[in-house]
Amino acid sequence: MSDDKLDGEEASAIDPVRLRATLGRAEFSRLVAALRRRLELGRPLTGTLSLSGVTAEERAAFDELLGRRITRGSTLLVNLDALTRLLADAAICPDLESAVQELAGPIVNRQAAAARDAAAWEGIWLQARELMRQPRLIEWLDELTRDGTIKRLCATPQSASILLGQLAQLADALPAPGEPLSALAARLFGDAHALDPGRPLATLAVRAAARLGDVQLEDDAEGRRSAWASVGVMCHELSTPALVLNIPAAGLGPLAELLRGAARHGEPVHVSLRHLLRDPLSGERALQGRTVFVCENPTTIALAVARFGAHCAPLVCVNGQFATPSLVLLRQLRSAGAILFYHGDFDPGGLLIARRVFAECGARPWRFGASDYLSAPKGIPFKGHPGPTPWSPALETAMALERRAVHEEAIFEALAADLVSQRKDAAV
Average pLDDT over the chain, rounded to an integer: 86
Is the domain of 371 the same as that of 266?
yes
3-state secondary structure of 51: strand
- Report the greatest alpha carbon distance in the chain: 115
Query: Which residue, 87, 108, 129, sits at the end of a domain?
Result: 108
Tens of pLDDT, residues 42-61 = 888 888 888 888 888 888 88
Beta-bridge partners for 75: 52
Helices (H), 90-109: 96-104
- Which three-class secondary structure state does DSSP give residue 378? coil
132, 141 in Cβ contact below 8 A? Answer: yes
Bridge pairing between strands 269-271 and 242-245: antiparallel
Residues 79 and 116 in one domain: no
> Domain check: are 228 and 248 in the same one?
no
User: Which CATH number characterizes residue 400's domain?
Assistant: 3.40.1360
Domain that holds residue 353: 242-427
Q: Helix 181-189 to helix 157-172 angle, to the nearest 10 degrees?
A: 120
Distance of alpha carbon 258 from alpha carbon 269, whole angstroms: 8
Q: How far apart are CA 401 and CA 420, in angstroms?
A: 34
The 10s digit of each residue's pLDDT in 237-284 is 667 789 999 999 998 889 999 999 999 999 999 998 888 888 899 999
Note whether 340 and 373 are same-domain residues: yes
Claim to verify: residue 226 and residue 253 sit in the same structural domain: no
Q: Are residues 396 and 249 in the same domain?
A: yes
Q: Which residues lie across from 77 on neighbouring strands?
A: 50
Which one of 171, 206, 234 terminates a domain?
Answer: 234
Please tell me the total count of domains within the chain. Answer: 3
For residue 164, give every residue at least 6 positions away whose Cβ sits within 8 Å of its Cβ, in sequence order, or none: 124, 127, 128, 131, 141, 150
pLDDT in tens, 357-402: 999 899 999 999 999 999 999 989 999 899 999 999 999 999 999 9
